[in-house]
Amino acid sequence: MSRRTALGAIGLGAVGVVGLQLRDQAESLPRRPAARTGNNPVAQENGAVGSDQWTLGRDGTKKVTDEDVQIQGYASATSVSHGESLNFHISSHTAQKCTVAVYRIGHYQGSGARHLLTSEPVDVKPRTKPEPQPGTGLIACDWPVSWTLEIPKMWVSGIFLAVFTSQDGHRSYTPFVVRDAARRSDVLMVVPFTTYQAYNMWPFDGRTGKNLYKGYTANGEMGGNPERALKVSFDRPYMQSGFPRWFDMDMSAARWAESAGYDITYASSIDLHEGRIDPSQYTAIIFSGHDEYWSKEMRDCAEDAVDAGTHLAFLASNNIYFHVRLEAGAGGLPGRVVTCYKEAPDPDPGAAGPTVRWRQLGKKHHKAEQGLLGVQYNGILKEPVPLIVRKGDHWFWSGTGLRDGDEIPDLIAVEADGFNPSMPQPPDTRQTLLSESPYIDSWGRGRTVQNTSLCENSQGTLVFVAGTFHWPLALNHPDHLNPQVQRATHNLLTRMLEPRSEG
């Protein structure tokens, strides 16, 4: 019986039957072998020499703007596998040469990345900025291919950066993932590209740009819902430098995980949607950053993971908030358009339902994200506040020196999650709230409470939600580094990676 079927049965009052069936399922969970921490391809990869030559300002490189598009580009896919190719579509403010350098994000003795190759000089020239499509506001470029990258079989799965450097000294970026679905790693880290695109305002030029939140008014001011797009495309650069909003959360989590030697491979959220990921192949799946926009297929994959005994860890907050559809782009490539109508009438909801908040789907909030996560988004903070520890004697806080009521300064920030007793809860699950952190909501609703949550079902499968944006930054980002958060996250993964025998 799947988790989704179990939820339906609970709705019919069949709790006893469900409990028996879940126990039967627990007895047939796949064996989880001993973790390969410290003895795996990622640990070996991080022994290589790193480099920070990709950063802006190196060799006198200058930033770009969306108004001028000195050098910007986008990739033909969010992820690519060994032996496949990835196309880059590049535009420049003048006809000139550029190079494309490729770096892998990791630890590398603190350097943070490794240089893998640099292209021969590539011819680039100005390309047209498309106008938003009437009705949906979709902005999709149709730039020709400027350079193609063939993915070598020896490259280790990870988060990668393509670095565009123009002949006249400007520099920008675009990220992508190299996946390795054929290798059964202990951990899979999922990078939230659907959310990256939802926030992408390119071109941020005072006239044209739109994302799923905002757009420009006729007089060039920043508008809101009336001006926003209903559809956004991956066929365009990320705004300004090319780093997606909140990308630093994912880089921080990845660098920390690789510094700790975990056996890890990577995927994009599009890979979950397209069915390229078998969640049962991993002991744990980490959602490393701000992962707000989910299709039904993505959520099905996460729920299938729990059914298969695969642990889930969400390191940020406001997860699985908006339901989206992923549609093909103009060239027919699948998964190139993220559609989310939100409050506007959805003209083509399909079997999955309209593209609204997940908690608005189904009767009595049946599809609310808390039914999987244990907590859900409950507000935006005016300013950071401390995390207030609960259950200080729990194994999660072991070795941190923290006790009930202790504070971790400024850890709760930007957006927060909390437990809502009026919303669905994960079935057959024991929940532990590991924090109780009051904050003032920027919407003016007064005092709200953040909760970090850990759910464990009768199979022993864990679902962890940090419930704040600053958690992944505290793992590695120099401005937010916190050893207590590092230790607690290490405790979590150690528990998740404990071997489990069949039966």
- For strand 437-441 and strand 462-465, is the pairing parallel, antiparallel, or unpaired? unpaired
Percentage of the chain beyond pLDDT 70 is 94
Q: What does DSSP assign to residue 130?
A: P
pLDDT band at 27 (very low <50, low <70, confident <90, very high): low
- The total of other beta-carbon atoms located within 10 Å of residue 2's CB is 14
Q: What does DSSP assign to residue 112?
A: -
The pLDDT, as a whole number, for residue 501 is 64
Structure tokens given for 465 = 């939600």
Helix-helix angle 15-27:3-11, to 10 degrees: 160
What would the pLDDT profile of 113-150 be if each residue is shown by its tens digit? Answer: 999 999 999 999 999 999 999 999 999 999 999 999 99
What would the pLDDT profile of 246-277 be if each residue is shown by its tens digit? Answer: 999 999 999 999 999 999 999 999 999 999 99
3-class DSSP state for residue 466? coil
What would the pLDDT profile of 360-401 be if each residue is shown by its tens digit? Answer: 998 889 999 999 999 999 999 989 999 999 999 999 999 999
pLDDT band at 17 (very low <50, low <70, confident <90, very high): very low
Contact 467, 419 (CB under 8 A): no
| pLDDT surpassing 50 at residue 428 | yes
Side chain identity, residue 463: V
The pLDDT, as a whole number, for residue 32 is 80
Side chain identity, residue 106: G
Alpha helix ranges (H) inside 261-351: 269-274, 296-307
3-class DSSP state for residue 385? strand
Structure tokens given for 442 = 């920027």
Looking at every residue in the chain, the average pLDDT score rounds to 93
What would the pLDDT profile of 277-319 be if each residue is shown by its tens digit? Answer: 999 999 999 999 999 999 999 999 999 999 999 999 999 999 9
Distance from CA of residue 196 to its chain's centroid? 8
| pLDDT surpassing 70 at residue 20 | no
Q: What is the mean pLDDT of residues 461-482?
A: 98
Q: What is the mean pLDDT of residues 39-51?
A: 97
pLDDT band at 109 (very low <50, low <70, confident <90, very high): very high
pLDDT band at 28 (very low <50, low <70, confident <90, very high): low
What would the pLDDT profile of 188-200 be if each residue is shown by its tens digit? Answer: 999 999 999 999 9
pLDDT band at 444 (very low <50, low <70, confident <90, very high): confident
- For strand 264-268 and strand 187-191, is the pairing parallel, antiparallel, or unpaired? parallel
| pLDDT surpassing 80 at residue 30 | no
Higher pLDDT, 443 or 356: 356
- The total of other beta-carbon atoms located within 10 Å of residue 182's CB is 10
The pLDDT, as a whole number, for residue 9 is 39
| pLDDT surpassing 80 at residue 503 | no
- For strand 293-294 and strand 322-323, is the pairing parallel, antiparallel, or unpaired? parallel
Structure tokens given for 124 = 């680039």
Q: What is the mean pLDDT of residues 181-187?
A: 95
| pLDDT surpassing 60 at residue 480 | yes
What would the pLDDT profile of 191-238 be if each residue is shown by its tens digit? Answer: 999 999 999 999 999 999 999 999 999 999 999 999 999 999 999 999
